[in-house]
Structure 1
Amino acid sequence: MSEYGLLQDTEDLAQHYEAVNADRQFRAGLSLIDDYLKIREGEDVLDVGTGTGQLAEYVASRVGPKGRVFGIDPLPLRIEFAAKKARPNLHFAVGDAYDLGLFADATFDVVYLNAVLHWLNEKRQPLREFARVLKPGGRIGIMAGAKGQGGELGEIRKRVLSREPFNGYPETTGQPHPVTADELTDLLRETGFVVDTIDVLPNQQMFATPQALIDYIEASSFGNFLGHLPFDLKERASREISIELARLATSEGVAQGGARLFACATRC
């Protein structure tokens, strides 16, 4: 993750993410844990990009007292929320996917990333680190946004930001870097894994209002959705995006489409 991207987070964004995530990324994470990784009692697990620790807390209940779960995240404000969930078999720390020096080789049975991989610009180094800290035969699970499947919001954002005066402020590296299923397959094979499963599944979520969708994206992107703009222009761009989203609203609300990658692989 870029330093710029990390600096956009605020306590309000972290709190909003904690409040609304249960029906969003957390639910997808449950599928990753239960359907793909099938995490078992007694396993040692690393949650990379744990956020506020909701999924790690669930995994700790799965592994039980004989297992351990460590959650790391580069965002200190999110770790402050996560630390409140700590227990004897659940630990949290500020940590970086690019340097897992906190952990010895062959420490974990499972490493997983829930809605995290697309935030990593260069992916090979982190994947090699994940392979290093996994035991032989250990498993990695990934849920991430699929490249080319960003949905209507991404197109609207791109269109609004192409206008003056927003186009005078270039994008930063604090934006998602998704991959396709084929690209992820190649990355895993290059970094020491045997690919077991990669699925691309549709992902449509409903939001009550355009602003509710924008607020969620701001929180889940830790402020990077429009973070490259000065405050006044950020507010203006948000309003213009909201107006265009409103044209797509139905009686059920505003839909955000797209697709997710679910992958499971085994360390060689």
Structure 2
Amino acid sequence: MNALSLAFDTQRLAEKYEELSADRQFSHGKQLIEELRLRPGERVLDIGCGTGLLAEYVATIVGPTGWVTGIDPLPLRIEIAKRKSKPNLVYQVGNAYVLDEFAENSFDVVYLNAVFHWLAEKEEPLQHIRRVLVPGGRLGLTTGSKEHPNRLQRIRREVLSRPPYNAFPESRAGYPHWVSVPELVWLLDRNGFSIQKIEVQENVFNHSDSDTVIDFSQASSFGNFLGHLPPELRDSAIAEIKRALEEYRTPDGIRLEGRRILAVAVKK
């Protein structure tokens, strides 16, 4: 299979994501929420909520007079998220391409934390988001910067360029679609948003060893890290990637340095 697949996710990957994302996506997500300046009583949509850590945090900010809906296309992650449900917080299976169940002007805030790069086609989701936002509603997102790949991305690309792996090219849908700042500015403006803030930030992860790097990559990509390869080649590709990563290991572990983009925009 050479396209992005939701079928690769497993209970183990979902539980591992819950464990490993706490000091990664969740930590970065709290900064995004701070930039969105949420207020008590606001209605919020978390697109790609994963196992629900950030949505649960947001529900405490908007309080009992507010409302948070978390959607994610991965049923196993929604099941974990539902353990965190509150009177003002619901989770359901859903995705950015189908927001039809939400009426126009349903939300004061919509955010996508470490999700935008998983959307192969980005204009349709932005149009849906604009429809469900109230006039002047805020959109927040964080996503990887295309111009600043980290060491793992470079190693993965180099390994996959060699035989036998290069006989199985990835489809357009089968890998993250990072953007540059100019591309994101163009997308937001074209789809009816006025940018309040956009900046490139450091995105540094320290992993204890190469196994931890692979565990997080598999969990955060819901099994798509090498999903385009035939099953019989995945283990050998992972072994080659691990060997390359271990060359950069220090007493402090393996440091992966990249950049992420944080953007906040308002519906025009």
Class of the TM-score when normalised by the shorter of the 2 chains: over 0.9
Q: Which residue of 2 aligns with 1:10?
A: 10
Aligned-partner residue type, residue 37 of structure 1: L
Could you give the per-residue CA deviations for residues 22-62 of structure 1, whole angstroms, max 9, x where no partner exists?
A: 1111100000001x101111110000000000100000011
Gaps of 5+ in 2: none
Could you give the per-residue CA deviations for residues 171-209 of structure 1, whole angstroms, max 9, x where no partner exists?
A: 132210011111111111111111110010111110000
Q: Which residue of 2 aligns with 1:184?
A: 184
Q: Distance in 2 between matches of 1:60 and 1:143?
A: 19
Could you give the per-residue CA deviations for residues 126-161 of structure 1, whole angstroms, max 9, x where no partner exists?
A: 001000000001000001111121211111101111
Q: Percent identity?
A: 50
Q: Which residue of 2 aligns with 1:254?
A: 254
Aligned-partner residue type, residue 105 of structure 2: A
Q: So what's the TM-score if we normalise by structure 2?
A: 0.97
Gaps of 5+ in 1: none
Runs of 4+ in 1 over 3 A off after TM superposition: none
Shift of residue 4 of structure 1? 3.8
Aligned-partner residue type, residue 263 of structure 1: A
- Structure 1 residues 3 and 237: CA distance shift in structure 2, 3 A: closer
2:49 is aligned with 1:60: no
Secondary structure, in 3 states, of the residue corresponding to 1:203? Answer: strand
Q: How many pairs were matched up?
A: 266
2:261 is aligned with 1:266: no
Higher mean displacement: 219-228 or 170-179: 170-179
Matches within 5 A, 1:189-200: 189-200=189-200
Q: So what's the TM-score if we normalise by structure 1?
A: 0.97
Aligned-partner residue type, residue 236 of structure 2: R
Shift of residue 70 of structure 1? 0.1
Whether the 8 Å CA contact 1:5–1:175 is kept in 2: the answer is: no
- Structure 1 residues 15 and 27: CA distance shift in structure 2, 3 A: same
Shift of residue 3 of structure 1? 6.8
Q: Distance in 1 between matches of 2:101 and 2:9?
A: 24
Aligned-partner residue type, residue 157 of structure 1: R
Shift of residue 231 of structure 1? 2.2
Q: Distance in 1 between matches of 2:257 and 2:224?
A: 19
Q: Distance in 1 between matches of 2:12 and 2:67?
A: 30
Cα root mean square deviation, aligned: 1.1
Q: Which residue of 1 aligns with 2:217?
A: 217
